[in-house]
Structure 1
Amino acid sequence: MEEIPYDEKRNAKVASPATSLDDEKKSLGDVENVKEVNNSDDSLATAGAWLTVHEQMRRRSYLVIGDDDDPAYNVLPQIVREICDFDDDPTMPVLTFRFFVISAIFTALGAWLTQMGFFRTTYIPYSIYFVQIASLYVGRFMARVLPSKRVGYGRFSFELNPGEFSIKEHVAVVLAANTGATNNLGDYVLAPLQVFYNEPMNGWLAILFMWSAVFIGFSYASFARVFLIENPSIPFPLTLQQAAVFKAMRSSVIGDSSTARRQMRVFWSTIIIFFCWQFLPEYAFPFTSSLALLCWFSKNPTTQFLGSGLGGAGILNITLDWSNIGSTMIYYPYWAQLNYVAACIITAWILIPIGFTKGIWGSDIYPIQTQTLYLRNGSVYPTQELLINGGDLNEVLFDEIGPPMMSAQLRWQYFFSYVAYIGSFVSCMLFQGPQLWSVFRQQWKSGRVYNDKLTQLARVYPQVPLWWNLVLFGVSAAVLIVLTATGVLYMPIYMLFIGLAIGGLIVLPMGFIYAVSGYQMQVGYFNELFYGYAIDAGGTRHPIGSLSYRVISGQCWYEAQSMLSDMKLGHFFHIPPRATLMAQVWGIIVGVPVNYATILWVCNTKGGILTGAITDPNRQWTGQTVISLYNQSISFALIGPRRLFDDPVYTPMLYGFLIGAVVPFILYGLHRLRPKWRFDLWSVPIFGDRCEHFWGNISNSFFVWFILGTLNHMYFKRYRYNFWKKYAYLWGAAADTGYNFNMLIIFIAFSAVKTISMPNWWGNNAVSVERCARFFDCCDLAYHVDIGFYVPEGSLHMQ
């Protein structure tokens, strides 16, 4: 949607009440409509009247900050004006001694916990809200006890205690943790190298490799800043949730707001409740993690497969495990949730049951719920025997056995991933292309595109010089060139340059999707396909080369979107752009070595799980991603897509590119003909990307999620808006925090030193915790415990 010019917005008419789907598009310029706007203490709702928020704000201007007739304010979404503070003190300290100490502690802790999640089936990453809460109290404590004196000499000196722990210090700590307290995609290379090839990478080289891919993503994000950060109509949903927690927390601790104190009571109560509850599904009473209703009413093996959420289709399955739900149903816009759940229903509740019950798409030979590779007769594909001479294909054996056979679900995963990848570019070009082009032209001519209040405040500070980004990119690229040229990454040098180029190309279109919906696109399947074709130009076909390429081209995008989200948070709180960049660099410097140490520890202590010799009954600790990556690299690097697609069974997969290119044009044409029908809300990238999800281990994660999301958006947000804006983001953040704290305690108490398993009882059945054991015996293909489940790369970032 095109942005209304500033001189026209002053006279623009207030939008009429729209549908609840329109409400969710507010980040793209629409005015959100609700049926109730109350003050926390006095009811301000007009009985019987449906007023837009804009109209309500004109009548009760003290509910939002700024004058509605001021173009510097009225271009900002209502929720941003309610959350943000537009008073700024440029002298407030940011990168203090306290910042470096506090951020290092919480970043290291998060990097350790989140990196372990790489080896789990589902998990909610290390909660940034825990960092927000704890760092505030630690910072205020340090402000009280540290002496007020200057340490060091001359220009290398600093104030040990510059006074009150400021909001900017607080946000900077979170920026560092947001960036560094994650898992690093370098695990895509390091874990398979150690597990399957017994060739662990040198520690220093591994850390340099992980650092370099991240820092290149930083430089890419800086070039997209003007399109996504300074644009006032793009608030970043997850960033808004973080900002809401900041406001409530600091108001309750530092200010004198009764509303903020009530908010924090709800926040802390929710943390305690979810912390206590998660001991049941995660350890003591796993039956609650998957309430398979169909299994309770039928002993038929097929029906039990359809109802099982742990290995089956998960139809009408209810989960009470927060790790399967998460707070995304609060901050994902409802139009994105509809695309999301439609894809889940089609794949998990329609395609899987058809393939399983009818035996079509080869499902009578290969299990439909697997990413393992097979021979045509159904035997496991001999992947290790195909690799000879350290990276060559055993041509004799390949001619004998042919290409590997994939399950039907894996094949349509690839198909939909290609739909989503090309669809993201085409959709962005059609729906946002004119606006992005206009921004680019204005930036090129005058260097100033937006003039909203937040941008005005940001211009007070020196911007990040272009040469900073060039140096960051140049040094990182030089490290990767050396690692590639010396064979450490097992890929030819020309693929490095192609990977860097593609990584930069996808930042803007996919970053836009993330900025308006909170949904992170995956790019791994396309990257491995592209690598498989491109490597025909020459160079080793060692499978690790494919994974190295995925890290470089993928890590650039994932880190760029994470940095963009953090830059938006800094934008909301008036953090100097240079301080934002330095905080993020510091977070990565601390986090990556911890990532590497965690990978080594897991690979050395959980080797049985990573190789598939040991199976976790809850399907959580499966080492699924490592084996999945190994199989994918064999298929698309060692064997290659040309050999693979010679088999007619794989030909339909490539039509995904055609579908992804054509469907956005159809939707765009329909939207131009019938704009009120909102065809622009039908997101080909989000739909295709979610269809790519593999349901082989856990398929109960979206039913309850969507029910709660509908309740959140269609009732609370629409009819109880004032209640929603005060408590929704806080409640979701608290639930994630309680869950994460519970996982930390369970790990320390029952897994860190000695594994202590929960004794089997009625709620922890030894055969099937959800009591769907009958479908084990249906046939060999009825149930397949697959450790090759693919975990979305986007899960590396914190919530």
Structure 2
Amino acid sequence: MIGNHVEDPRSKLKDDNDNKNFSSLSMAGGEEEENDCPIEEVRLTVPITDNPSEVALTFRTWSLGLLSCCLLAFVNQFFGYRQNQLYISSVSAQIVALPLGKLMAATLPAKIIKLPFNWSFSLNPGPFTLKEHVLITIFANCGSSSVYAVNIVTIVKAFYHRTLHPAAALMLSMTTQMLGYGWAGIFRKFLVDSPYMWWPANLVQVSLFRALHEKEKRPRGGHTRLQFFLLIFISSFSYYLVPSYLFPSITCISIACLIWKDSIIAQQIGSGFYGLGIGSFGIDWSTVASFLGSPLATPGFAIINILVGFFLIVYVMLPIAYWSNAYEAKRFPFISSHTFDSLGNPYNISRVLNSKTFDLDQVGYDNYSKLYLSVFFAFSYGLSFATLTATISHVALFHGKTIWQLWKKTTTAMNQLGDVHTRIMKRNYKEVPQWWFHSILIVMVALALYACEGFDKQLQLPWWGILLACGIALFFTLPIGIIQATTNMQPGLNVITELIIGYIYPGKPLANVAFKTYGYISMAQALSFVGDFKLGHYMKIPPRSMFTVQLVGTMVSSSVYFATAWWLLTTIPNICDIDQLPEGSPWTCPGDDVFYNASIIWGVVGPLRMFTKYGVYGQMNWFFLIGLLAPLPIWLLSLKFPEKKWITLINMPIIIGATGGMPPARSVNYITWGIVGIFFNFYVYKKFKGWWARHNYILSAALDAGVAFMGIVIYFTLQSKDIFGPDWWGLISDDHCNLAKCPTAPGVVAKGCPVL
């Protein structure tokens, strides 16, 4: 989906039990089409007008679209390896593309460029159009959508220190992103053409496009949207020099650690990086938005649910579990994504991994130790189990009846002309042939099989694993697509896929992560493509132009993500190795560190030796049942007290999965994100609603863009030459809470920690 704005999934649907027959009035002779869309929110938001002669896929579309695609892909992968990750959404490009498009329309000559095969195009076909703007944003969305498979490339080269053929790595990145076209083509008739599959998040984008293309007059004493964007962008760009180069320590200031410098418990309580974060804060936009996204673009109800979940998990569950010494918690750090042995030492993976076959050495494992986690990391997996089942239960209880009714109407509507938007699209534009999707699917499956079976089987996953992963993705695309198209919620398949391959094919770390990527990401990509198709459906974009932009954008972004990662992995010494990096280096790869440890847990050791009687954490399986039952009390309360609408805003999947980003996200990220989110989405929204409506999203995009551009400038001018700022106390990109990482069990030896 474009951007990261999400509407309340509990938006009330208009009762449509009368099953009105759709009218098919002709637009000839100026007669207006009847707006017979059955979804009220769509009727109120999406226009029923269209101008088929309006240009869409132009030179401006290609140049601005490819530029934004490449820039966002490069920036997001570049910052993905840094201590404070930063995600730049396509909204930034969406806002910037408008003045650039208008500038090109005003300055470029209307020259016709001739190409071979009797093709030609104009540099300037006229005024910059809304359809061009939509397609440029689709390009940008391809660039802003991360390539999950790059994590596999990173852990192979930076953590396992093994060779990986670049062609195999590129094919892995490309195929995992593009397999989704096959599933999208199979199910688009149901998920796009049906008026009942309405994709609520797209309505935010429709509203934003309409607002941006309305004629704007500068208010007296104020600024236009573009002027406001430039003002905030310059301010953000200039300020980020301080936290990124001169004073990195202000990304997290933990007051307790500055007062109690010799107390482990005080630092565990006060550390924003390694503890509860009480009294910690950051003066840096990347601290606010680096892991959880911009709080300015997150709905208020979601912010409250996430903060409630964070409080219950981090401030209630974690202290009880740690200080009661559950699962030998005191032997290990308070919060950590690393793996440990029974003595509290970092788990020596070389003792259990066969260096030649790159799989589990059972004898070495039996003679060494079971695998242990920090109690927070262990409960994170339990909570991920609960989130999966809670999502299913929540959707079934709160949305099941509506989804079933909409699905029945969808299947019957397939034999009709559909609503006004479907009729306009079918009348004015050529459909994308089904064989286009099927061809891509066949080619991508073949390339995936070659990537895993060829190159000396470096990726470990056998051919049947690819086909099984594709089968899982195919099976789940439609039901999860129905859920997302009606509720904006997308249950993830990462836990299921890790469990399945972990039991079927244990001891193979790369096979595990490759299977997870093919099974989970291809489904997620399919729904992203379908969601964008629905946006094009609403905005009346020619389907073949939409298909072309998505296809080219995905190929280009996959290549840029891979090329950026490969360049950084091969040029930055000791990237991702915190112990070997120079002081002040930001290249700590927090997300990839978590991914690496997950490959050990699910791939090398496997779920059989972790979450059954053969491992330490068998009781975590109870979280499946806990998650399944958790939404039930809220649902019963909503039935008993229907007048109390706030009850329906309690979302147990969001509450249970609130800390799903920890690690690599830290307490300080949640605290600062929550404070900023509450201020803008409650106080500013209530007191200054006009300002909020006009400037809120633009403020978010400008802050993101300023941080991104300064980060790139500093890297190429200074950090690439190993110049990391003045050597002083504030240079450390840390909160000076080293004791917070120390174990508190007697006799456990850890580097830099006192032995109790």
TM-score category, normalised to shorter length: 0.7 to 0.9
Question: Do the aligned residues in 1 keep the contact of 2:246 with 2:731 (CA within 8 Å)?
Answer: no
Residues 763-782 of structure 1 deviation map (CA, whole Å, 9 limit, x = unaligned)? x165x854546657886989
Question: Do the aligned residues in 2 keep the contact of 1:115 with 1:182 (CA within 8 Å)?
Answer: no
Trace 1:408-487 onto structure 2 (pairs within 5 A).
Answer: 408-447=375-414, 454-455=421-422, 457-459=424-426, 460-486=428-454, 487=457
Is 1:681 matched up with 2:658?
no
The residue aligned with 1:759 is 726
Residues 419-451 of structure 1 deviation map (CA, whole Å, 9 limit, x = unaligned)? 112222332233323333333333333317896
SS across alignment from 1:415 = helix
1:368 to 1:777, Cα distance in 2 relative to 1, 3 A = closer
1:156 to 1:71, Cα distance in 2 relative to 1, 3 A = closer
Question: Do the aligned residues in 2 keep the contact of 1:232 with 1:452 (CA within 8 Å)?
Answer: no
Is 1:694 matched up with 2:662?
yes
Is 1:289 matched up with 2:251?
yes
Q: Which deviates the most, 170-179 or 709-718? A: 709-718
Q: Which deviates the most, 700-709 or 451-460? A: 451-460
The residue aligned with 1:737 is 705
The residue aligned with 2:525 is 559
Among 114, 138, 148, the alignment partner of 1:175 is: 138
Question: Do the aligned residues in 2 keep the contact of 1:108 with 1:590 (CA within 8 Å)?
Answer: yes
Q: Percent identity?
A: 23
Q: TM-score, normalised by structure 2?
A: 0.84
In 1: Cα distance, 2:39 partner to 2:664 partner = 48
Trace 1:515-594 onto structure 2 (pairs within 5 A).
Answer: 523-535=493-505, 541-594=507-560
In 2: Cα distance, 1:258 partner to 1:229 partner = 41
In 2: Cα distance, 1:548 partner to 1:555 partner = 10
Deviation at 1:605, TM superposition (A): 2.3
The residue aligned with 1:276 is 238
Q: Which deviates the most, 287-296 or 87-96? A: 287-296
Question: Do the aligned residues in 2 keep the contact of 1:129 with 1:734 (CA within 8 Å)?
Answer: no
Q: Which deviates the most, 168-177 or 117-126? A: 117-126
Residues 548-591 of structure 1 deviation map (CA, whole Å, 9 limit, x = unaligned)? 11211122133234334433543443222332221111111212
SS across alignment from 2:704 = helix
Residues 569-627 of structure 1 deviation map (CA, whole Å, 9 limit, x = unaligned)? 43443222332221111111212222222121121123413244325767952123334
Trace 1:275-354 onto structure 2 (pairs within 5 A).
Answer: 275-295=237-257, 298=260, 300-326=263-289, 328-354=294-320
Deviation at 1:532, TM superposition (A): 0.6
1:697 to 1:664, Cα distance in 2 relative to 1, 3 A = closer
1:256 to 1:453, Cα distance in 2 relative to 1, 3 A = farther
Trace 1:134-283 onto structure 2 (pairs within 5 A).
Answer: 134-143=96-105, 144-153=107-116, 156-221=119-184, 223=187, 226-227=190-191, 236-237=200-201, 246-251=209-214, 262-283=224-245
1:314 to 1:236, Cα distance in 2 relative to 1, 3 A = farther
Structure 2 unaligned regions, length at least 5? 1-6, 16-31
Deviation at 1:227, TM superposition (A): 4.4
Residues 125-167 of structure 1 deviation map (CA, whole Å, 9 limit, x = unaligned)? 2342442344334434444324422512555333443222322
User: Counterpart of 1:120 in structure 2: which amino acid?
Assistant: R
Question: Do the aligned residues in 1 keep the contact of 2:274 with 2:737 (CA within 8 Å)?
Answer: no
User: Counterpart of 1:631 in structure 2: which amino acid?
Assistant: N
SS across alignment from 1:95 = coil
The residue aligned with 1:103 is 65
In 2: Cα distance, 1:251 partner to 1:434 partner = 39
Residues 450-503 of structure 1 deviation map (CA, whole Å, 9 limit, x = unaligned)? 966655544443343433333322221222233334435311222222212323
Question: Do the aligned residues in 2 keep the contact of 1:324 with 1:701 (CA within 8 Å)?
Answer: yes
Deviation at 1:172, TM superposition (A): 0.8
Residues 241-294 of structure 1 deviation map (CA, whole Å, 9 limit, x = unaligned)? 655654454446xx6575996333333222222222222222223343223243
User: Counterpart of 1:657 in structure 2: which amino acid?
Assistant: F
In 1: Cα distance, 2:710 partner to 2:466 partner = 41
User: Counterpart of 1:662 in structure 2: which amino acid?
Assistant: L
In 2: Cα distance, 1:579 partner to 1:701 partner = 40
The residue aligned with 2:466 is 496
In 1: Cα distance, 2:180 partner to 2:83 partner = 27
In 2: Cα distance, 1:681 partner to 1:288 partner = 35
Q: TM-score, normalised by structure 1?
A: 0.80
Structure 1 unaligned regions, length at least 5? 1-22, 32-66, 787-799
Is 1:75 matched up with 2:40?
yes
C-alpha root-mean-square deviation of aligned residues, in Å?
3.7
User: Counterpart of 1:632 in structure 2: which amino acid?
Assistant: A
1:425 to 1:769, Cα distance in 2 relative to 1, 3 A = closer
1:337 to 1:227, Cα distance in 2 relative to 1, 3 A = farther
1:225 to 1:758, Cα distance in 2 relative to 1, 3 A = farther
Is 1:29 matched up with 2:13?
yes
1:568 to 1:593, Cα distance in 2 relative to 1, 3 A = same
Question: Do the aligned residues in 2 keep the contact of 1:311 with 1:369 (CA within 8 Å)?
Answer: yes
Question: Do the aligned residues in 1 keep the contact of 2:594 with 2:663 (CA within 8 Å)?
Answer: no
In 2: Cα distance, 1:469 partner to 1:682 partner = 40
In 2: Cα distance, 1:285 partner to 1:606 partner = 22
Deviation at 1:341, TM superposition (A): 1.1
In 1: Cα distance, 2:156 partner to 2:577 partner = 13
In 1: Cα distance, 2:451 partner to 2:570 partner = 25
The residue aligned with 1:724 is 692
Residues 316-364 of structure 1 deviation map (CA, whole Å, 9 limit, x = unaligned)? 4222221122364233222222221122112333334445555443122
Deviation at 1:74, TM superposition (A): 7.9
Is 1:396 matched up with 2:358?
no
SS across alignment from 1:613 = coil
SS across alignment from 2:339 = coil
1:243 to 1:718, Cα distance in 2 relative to 1, 3 A = same
In 1: Cα distance, 2:270 partner to 2:483 partner = 33
User: Counterpart of 1:602 in structure 2: which amino acid?
Assistant: L
The residue aligned with 1:749 is 717
Question: Do the aligned residues in 2 keep the contact of 1:392 with 1:542 (CA within 8 Å)?
Answer: yes
User: Counterpart of 1:149 in structure 2: which amino acid?
Assistant: I
The residue aligned with 2:576 is 610
1:181 to 1:335, Cα distance in 2 relative to 1, 3 A = closer
In 2: Cα distance, 1:324 partner to 1:686 partner = 21
In 1: Cα distance, 2:511 partner to 2:709 partner = 37
The residue aligned with 2:372 is 405
Question: Do the aligned residues in 1 keep the contact of 2:79 with 2:85 (CA within 8 Å)?
Answer: yes
In 1: Cα distance, 2:234 partner to 2:641 partner = 49
Question: Do the aligned residues in 1 keep the contact of 2:390 with 2:627 (CA within 8 Å)?
Answer: yes
In 2: Cα distance, 1:510 partner to 1:688 partner = 20
User: Counterpart of 2:357 in structure 1: which amino acid?
Assistant: G
Question: Do the aligned residues in 1 keep the contact of 2:310 with 2:659 (CA within 8 Å)?
Answer: yes
User: Counterpart of 1:653 in structure 2: which amino acid?
Assistant: M
1:721 to 1:463, Cα distance in 2 relative to 1, 3 A = farther
In 1: Cα distance, 2:528 partner to 2:182 partner = 12
